[in-house]
Amino acid sequence: MSWKLDSDRPIHKQLLEVLLTGIVSGTYPSGSKLPSVRDLAMEAGVNPNTMQRAFTELEQKGLVRTERTAGRFVTDDREKIERSRDAIATQQLTLFLDKMQQLGFQKKEIVSFVRSKIEEEKNE
């Protein structure tokens, strides 16, 4: 897992994003046991309390559940995971479209540009 953290934003929010990406991408599949807070905190190079804060937010979102003696698990609710994935994708797409329009691209140009880049990727 990539823990590229910067000092411009709250660390627990960045940890939350990394963990959430891991869940929606399938790195941590539905129903799977998550590594411990301490293990992940050590891996990320952060205080365990900061990592705990990120886990608390994931629990509040209903994406993680805690079983007292067994640890933390990703939700079995695949629809919830899919909705979270779609929400993240929509947010990223909105940011992309806003930036492209700031650069002077019209919507049709953006679509054409993206298509051409996808074609370039296919041909590599």
The whole-number mean pLDDT for each consecutive block of 10 residues of the chain, a chain of 124 residues, reads 84 94 96 95 94 96 93 96 96 96 95 93 85
CA distance 88 to 6: 20
Q: How far apart are CA 88 and CA 112, in angstroms?
A: 23
Partnered with residue 14 across adjacent β-strands are none
In contact, 18 and 3? CB cutoff 8 Å: yes
Beta-bridged to residue 66, according to DSSP, are 72
Tens digits of residue pLDDT in 54-89? 999 999 999 999 998 899 999 999 999 999 999 999
Our measurement of the distance from residue 77's CA atom to the centroid of its chain's CA atoms, rounded to an integer in Å, reads 17
- The CATH code for residues 11-76 is 1.10.10.10
- In this prediction the pTM is 0.83
Report the mean per-residue pLDDT for the chain. 94
Q: Helices (DSSP H) in 26-106: which residue ranges? A: 37-44, 48-60, 78-102
